[in-house]
Amino acid sequence: MFEIEDERKRARELGRRGGVEHTVTLKVGEWIVAAQPDGDVERTNAAGKTSAVHFFHFPFTDQQVDAFRNADAEIILGVGHENYAHMAVIPKAVREALAEDFS
Which pairs count as long-range contacts for 77-84, CB under 8 Å and 24+ apart, including other chains?
A: 77/24, 77/25, 77/26, 78/24, 78/25, 78/26, 78/27, 78/32, 79/20, 79/23, 79/24, 79/25, 80/23, 80/24, 80/25, 81/17, 81/19, 81/20, 81/23, 83/16, 83/17, 84/16, 84/17, 84/20
Q: How many domains does the chain have?
A: 1
In a domain, 12, yes or no: yes
In a domain, 2, yes or no: no
pTM over 0.75: yes
Per-residue pLDDT of the chain (103 residues; tens, 9 = 90+): 999 999 999 999 999 999 999 999 999 989 999 999 998 778 888 888 999 999 999 999 999 999 999 989 899 999 999 999 999 999 999 999 999 999 8
Q: Give residue 79's domain range.
A: 7-102
